[in-house]
Structure formats: structure tokens, C-alpha cells
Structure 1
């Protein structure tokens, strides 16, 4: 029923109150209302959900509270004692600040506070407006600037992810992937929607370090050598951009993301009909192996392994989607592989793991900041048969492709592309015997090696 009390042993969360937005405890609230009455001015911290409930400005109910933050929606019940129960998990929060901060940290772990009264909505209207209504009704002669102290800062900081600015059609289509052909490199991108129209989505962006933006990397990452081998091999086969997914596990206790398997997408980026079938097959493979989706990779065949503006948007979308309905932060790792960029050192590919720090709340349509992720590479003890089989399937898929790499061509004056691919195998393995069939561009000569 509407306004029902929480379960007998709920998990009460008290974290996350802003200094300006922390509500008074029940005892302080009662003492303040009894001694002062409506004839005395309450500061804005004295006006709590309990006050609004007692005076009839809001009513308890199921699903009457909501938060919309960077593309994610959260729904809460308002209980009769002024506490908030998050519908998804049943957790109980003592104040709007605690709930807003908790939810926002699931999307952006670097978030310090929640601006609860400006972020939480009651039946579609921001709670801060109900607080103002209470003041106007019960203390019309009060100094509104004093009583509303700090709310303007909240509103400014949280004039956010409402999507008041219409996104043009060009923006809606920005997720379609095309081959990157280079472009100017920028240090940081914080661009409004109107500026986005003028930006080339293939513009490359230099990665920042977490320390450069006064942040700590919110998670640790370990990637197995089997993942790197299969991913790098996939990216070497074609002159077109390729995409794949990463499977692994996320340990909330150690905050460690372990990437254990790469799942190449054996489909063309423009093939909308085949894509759902391929993705469903990958989902089944993840399930069968007891793995979770933890990230994605793609190639910049002849360009630097740096994210483009389009990649930044795609990564931000993946980060938000990967949150799913789980009660907790889970990172999503993006990796860019640059196999044939002559600016690379030596013959090895450049591998760039990255993550995107969400844009400021007051500018939700800006680009996020791409940051380099520190990764530990773990040497596998053996090459699994499924990885070798996947390599063979990739060769078969690209066998007759017009953009198949001509492995007999020279990569450098003394190194063929075939020799370059051999090097990549040794890059991710100390000593391994691999036999891979590669079909030449003329589709007649098969080349097999073992080392």
C-alpha cells in the first residue's frame, strides 16, 4: 500500500550528505519546531521532509520520488517518517542528500555530493520548490535569502541532465562507427551541444591522467595475455575498423576488474541485420563461461590509438548502460588498438585502455574527459583452444573481404606484415607454439607458421 513502512530489517544509508544539504535528525527537528513554532524563522536546513509531511505539502507514497542523472533513472518511495526507500534495492536513506549522493556515485564514482533537494523530484517537481512553498506559506515575512541559503548554488550545480536543450539529428546519429582518418589532437574537450555541430566527430583527443584532473583511478584493472593476443590479431586482419567485447569479472571488495576473454564481432560495422545475431551469440558465450560484460575494444587501423569525440560518446554510453540494475558501481573499460600507425614505436601495436570522466552536472551534453587507465597485464600459462579457434574463425570471416590486409606487403624495409603479426604473438607470449592459417589477398596462397 502507498506509504507503507519499510521491512523489519532495512539497510539504512546515512552517507552522502552535503555540508549545506544535511538534514537535521528527528530529535533536532522536533525540538526546533516545538520551541520556535511557525513564528520563528527556520533556516533552510531546518526544513526537512518530515516538516513537509507534517504540514501537508507532500504525502508519503510509493514511487513518488525520482532522480534523473546522466541518463540513469532512480525511483524512491517516500515513507511516513520522512525517510526514502530506493525501490530497486529496498535500501533506506535518511535524507534526499544521502539518496542522491549514493545514486550518483553509482554512475560517477568521483561524485562528492548529491545536491539532494535540487536533484530529487517529488511527483515531477524538484523538492527545493516544495521547501520554498513552505517558507512562503508559513513564514511569508522571513528573509528568503537567509532561509534559502545555499539553494541557488544547488540549483546552479544541478541544472543538469534534464535535456532542456534539444539534441539535433546529427547528434543522435553520432554513434554510427566509421573508419577514423586522423584529425587534430586536443588536450581536453568540454563542448556545448551547439558547438558539437561544428566539431568533426573523428577529431582525436589526447588522454588525460587521473592525477591531472585531481582524481584517483576508481578501480584497478588486470588484463590477460590471451585477451591481448586475440584482440590485437583481430585488429591486424583488415584495413577497416573492427569492434569486439571484453568479458571478465568485477570484484566489489577489491575494486578489481579482471578482463579474461575477448569476443570479436565477426560482422561489418554497417551490417545492422547481422549485428543482433552476433551480439546474442556473444551474450551466450559470456553466460556459458560465467563471465560478465566488462568493456569493449575497437581499432584505429592506420591512426593513433587515441579516442575520437565519437569514441568518447560511445564509451560514456557504454559506462552508463553497463551500470544496469546492479546496486553498485561497475566500471566499463574501453580499449583502442592501433595496429598500422607508422607513428608507433617498433612494429608492435599501440594498445590504449581508457575511461571517460562524466561531464559536469550543469553541462550534461558536454563531452566527458577521456583518461588513461593504468592496467596490469597478466601472463596466461597457456593458449586456450577457444582463443585459437576464434583466430581461425576470424581468418575465415575475412578470407574473401576486399579490405583484407595483404600480408605479403612490406610493413617496413626489412619487415613484412606477416612478420609483424608474428611479432605481435611474441609480444603477448614469452614462448608459445601457434599455428595460424592466413589467406593472402589473392586468396590462393595459404601461409602457415609455427614458432
Structure 2
């Protein structure tokens, strides 16, 4: 974006630093030695709003399955998991599969281990496709692609599994390490139906005299523990109340991601899903310390939370504040929501220019960004980690100074949240060790002090009304008269979540009632 920014506007630190400031800058260079005056990470004159901007974020983590051609293999050779436990199916040659359909003697009847996904594919009972396989286990959901050769690709990691049992055993042990192997065919669903039912259909069609117990053994053990979550969700909606929850339950398999630990990522791999969520580490866990302190205004959280609640799509915004090099304190004073679609590159420049001017007029610097994971955990994806690292380097600039860039993720409609409050996660990224330059950056949790404002400012209220007007006719606007859960409407939810960021002046609730009435009138 061809906009000239003053040093204050773009959040650059002064090159003259106090002793405390210099010491922290040295510590940061210990973490990232390549950040030096002779090797700048980014031009100090580069427009940072573009660097942190909507163009860069148009491919943000939308918590959906990436578009991969049906049945295709990942770009590189991912790990093929073969150990499926006791019930892993045996691979059959093409001749053996043909013999199954041609043989009629009793001795040729298939056992449950004899019918593979490849058999079902050849006979047209199932078709390859992206995201057609799913496992629901102890409240966790896993999504897989069915490949042309009958193997399963786990969407989250790109790992390839030879059979349903191999995949099911692997996923279940991630959730419950004590889990013993069981019947993968009773655990994995194809387009909502258990694969074991397709086995039964195959036997009815090609071996009508077969004993159906060959298929059904061990199924009941899996039903009991895997069906709990789905049954509970179904029972919660039996009251007939319409709600976003109904839609979410039906789409949760495609939306939710199971976070992985950073230590399991290894080196960068093109086969890895960029939407894979990663658990945050603590600075102490990687033998580091948090090189700066952070204070965030309650009005920032309120406006950010309000923005994220309005739509079922991902949103993004910027954070304005001040960086004190003497105290090493980053103060976040203002949120600037981006009233545009992430993929709308044409309007992105205008929106960013307006935010840049607002920062300048208020004497604030750009200190970070926020975005939402509407239905998923408020944890960074691999793509978020790379974006955050890029933003940190751009905000660092080319001088000896250091200015942190704070990332915040807000998860408003994740059913794993406690109560109605959104989960808000501040994070930072530590570069990988020098000896492993091809690893991903390490996402770490940032300790933050939340400062309660005295009252809602006119700026915040004005931004809220502008957001209401922007999303008024949006197809993905949340319907606030619908139900979040059986006894809580979407309006109750947003009110309850925003109350967590209330100012000291209790009159704020009366002021916000006008905003809420506008939301109610948008249905």
C-alpha cells in the first residue's frame, strides 16, 4: 500500500535505548541471532499495515478442510502408518479380491478382516473423496480423506493409514493413551454411516449366506463410548428450539481440529495441513523468559470480542498502543476492526489506510493484530505461526531496537469454551533453534495484565455501530434470536461474553442496550 508512515505511526522504536531496553534487545538477538543491523529482517520504511494486512491474511485459517483433489497423494511422501493393532485389516492383492466375488463355496466366505476399503471401492459401495471419513471419540473429532487406493489420509497431519483400524487406533490413543485396539470399522464413519454397515451390505450382496456375526463382532464396545457426544448433542436439541448450535453440530466434523503438541511437528513438510492447530508452549518450557510485559485495555477486549461474535466467518483487526523501551511494557489501548472480507483485496488498501490514519491521529503505534477462529479452539494454526513470525520481523525493522508484535486469537463459538465467554489467547512466536532452521516457529503463551477501563469511550461505541451496519445484510451474520444452547440465546451469549470486559462505570450496560437492540432488529 503506497502510504508513507511516520516512525510513530508504524510503531518503530527509537534507536536510542535505555540500558534495560538494550538488554532485552540483546536477549531477543540471542533468540534470533540473524536480527542485526547488517541483516535487517524488513525495511524500516515498509508499510507495516500491508505487512500485517488483509492481503497477507486473505488465506487465514478458516477452520475448514483445505481443498485437495479427491484421492490425490500429498506433495511429499508422508508417513504411512501400518500398525493398526489387533484388528488391522490385511492387504489383499487384486487376484484375491476377484476371487472373493467369484468363489461360492463355504470355505471361501470372507471373515470381517477380509473385506477392505479397496474391496468396497472396487465394487462401488464407497467412493474416494476429501473429508468423507470421520471418527468421533470422547468428544474429539477426526476427519480423513478416502484415497483411490483404499488408504486413509488424516486431514490434520497428512499421515497415510492403510486401514480404518490403523487410523482409529492412532487417533484414539492420542485422546486416551490407555485405549486398546478395537474395531476400526465400527469407529470410522463414511458420510455419516459406520463403515461396518458397508461391510454388511457387501456381504448381503456378494455372500448372502454369510453369518452377519462375522461383521458385527466388537461393534457394540465402540458404540457406547463413541456415541456419547453425538447422543448428548442430539438430546440437547430435542426441545425444538432453532439455533446456531444445530448447524454447528452438523458441521463440527469439518470445522474442529484437534490441536497437536509442537514437539510432534518436526521439520517443515509441504504435506502438512497449514490449518493444523498447535498447542501453546510456556516460555519456561523452552528455557526462555518473556522478553516484554503486556497490558491490555478492557475496551480493546470488548470491541474485539464484539467483532468476533457478529459473524460465523473469520474476522481480523489491528491493535494500537505504545511501546515503552525503558520499562519494556507494551500497552494495547485500542482495537481497530477491519470492516472488509479477508479475500477482498480491492477494499483492503482503503481499510488499512483508514486504520493507519486513525493510529496517527491518536498518537498510537501499531503493536499487533487479532483474528477469530469462529467455531474452533483459540490456538494458532501452522499458517498463523508463520504469519505471526513475519509480523514480528516486520515490526522489528532494520535498526537495533526491538518492538514486540502481539498476536491474539478469539474463539467465540467453540463449544469447548467454559460457559458463554469467548476464549481469548495472546501469543508470540519464538524462532526455531539455529541447529533446526527448517522447523516451525514455537508458539508461546504471553502473560498479559488486563486493565479495566473506567468507562466505554465514544470511539468504541462508534466502532460497534459501524460493525453493526457493515454486517447488517451479511449472509453469515449470526442470528441472535436463535439458541446457542437449550437455555441460552445467541443474544444472551454475546451479552455474557462482553460482560467479562465491563468497565468500572456500570452505566455501560444501559449504553450497550442500544447496540443490542440494533442486533435484534437485524434478524
Is 1:183 matched with 2:274? no
Alignment partner for residue 511 of structure 2, among 408, 430, 434?
434
Alignment match, 1:247: 320
Alignment match, 1:109: 28
Report the CA distance shift for 1:408/1:325 in structure 2 as closer, same or farther (over 3 A).
same
- Structure 2 segments unaligned to the other structure (5+ residues): 1-13, 40-54, 64-254
Alignment partner for residue 425 of structure 1, among 498, 512, 517?
498
Q: CA deviation at 1:347?
A: 0.5
Report the CA distance shift for 1:240/1:108 in structure 2 as closer, same or farther (over 3 A).
farther
Report the CA distance shift for 1:439/1:380 in structure 2 as closer, same or farther (over 3 A).
closer
Distance 1:253 1:309 in 2: 33
Distance 2:56 2:298 in 1: 35
Distance 1:283 1:336 in 2: 22
Report the CA distance shift for 1:440/1:200 in structure 2 as closer, same or farther (over 3 A).
farther
Q: CA deviation at 1:350?
A: 0.4
Distance 1:108 1:276 in 2: 35
Alignment match, 2:416: 343
Q: CA deviation at 1:110?
A: 6.2
Q: CA deviation at 1:226?
A: 0.4
Report the CA distance shift for 1:89/1:438 in structure 2 as closer, same or farther (over 3 A).
closer
Is 1:204 matched with 2:282? no
Distance 1:120 1:298 in 2: 31
- After superposition, give the CA deviation of every residue in 1:73-103 in whole Å (9 maximum; x if it has no partner): xxxxxxxxxxxxxxx9699xxxxxxxxxx99
Alignment match, 2:267: 192
Q: CA deviation at 1:268?
A: 0.1
Q: Is the 8 A contact 1:174 1:310 kept in 2?
A: no
Q: Is the 8 A contact 1:182 1:202 kept in 2?
A: no
Q: Which structure dedicates a bigger proportion of its chain to strand?
A: 1
For the residue of structure 1 that corresponds to 2:511, the secondary structure is coil
Report the CA distance shift for 1:121/1:249 in structure 2 as closer, same or farther (over 3 A).
closer
Q: Is the 8 A contact 1:239 1:403 kept in 2?
A: yes
Alignment match, 1:356: 429
Q: CA deviation at 1:408?
A: 0.5
- After superposition, give the CA deviation of every residue in 1:26-78 in whole Å (9 maximum; x if it has no partner): xxxxxxxxxxxxxxxxxxxxxxxxxxxxxxxxxxxxxxxxxxxxxxxxxxxxx
For the residue of structure 1 that corresponds to 2:403, the secondary structure is coil
Report the CA distance shift for 1:226/1:367 in structure 2 as closer, same or farther (over 3 A).
same
Q: CA deviation at 1:188?
A: 0.8
Distance 1:426 1:120 in 2: 46
Distance 1:327 1:114 in 2: 12
- After superposition, give the CA deviation of every residue in 1:83-137 in whole Å (9 maximum; x if it has no partner): xxxxx9699xxxxxxxxxx99x859716169599xx9999xxxxxxxxxxxxxxx
Q: Is the 8 A contact 1:110 1:218 kept in 2?
A: no
Distance 1:90 1:409 in 2: 55
- Structure 1 segments unaligned to the other structure (5+ residues): 1-87, 92-101, 123-171
Report the CA distance shift for 1:251/1:89 in structure 2 as closer, same or farther (over 3 A).
closer
Alignment partner for residue 391 of structure 1, among 464, 470, 486?
464
Task: Describe how 1:14-53 pairs up with structure 2 within 5 A.
Answer: none
TM-score, length-scaled by structure 1: 0.60
Report the CA distance shift for 1:203/1:261 in structure 2 as closer, same or farther (over 3 A).
same
Alignment match, 2:334: 261
Alignment match, 1:222: 295
For the residue of structure 2 that corresponds to 1:353, the secondary structure is strand
Q: CA deviation at 1:303?
A: 0.5
For the residue of structure 2 that corresponds to 1:111, the secondary structure is helix
Distance 2:501 2:37 in 1: 49
Report the CA distance shift for 1:108/1:280 in structure 2 as closer, same or farther (over 3 A).
farther
Q: CA deviation at 1:362?
A: 4.0
- After superposition, give the CA deviation of every residue in 1:296-335 in whole Å (9 maximum; x if it has no partner): 0000001011111111011111101111244311111000
Distance 2:383 2:515 in 1: 34
Q: Is the 8 A contact 1:408 1:440 kept in 2?
A: no
TM-score, length-scaled by structure 2: 0.52
- After superposition, give the CA deviation of every residue in 1:174-227 in whole Å (9 maximum; x if it has no partner): 97224113323211155434x1x1111111101001111111111100000000
Distance 2:27 2:258 in 1: 28
Distance 1:227 1:277 in 2: 22
For the residue of structure 1 that corresponds to 2:300, the secondary structure is helix
Q: Which structure dedicates a bigger proportion of its chain to helix?
A: 2
Is 1:313 matched with 2:232? no
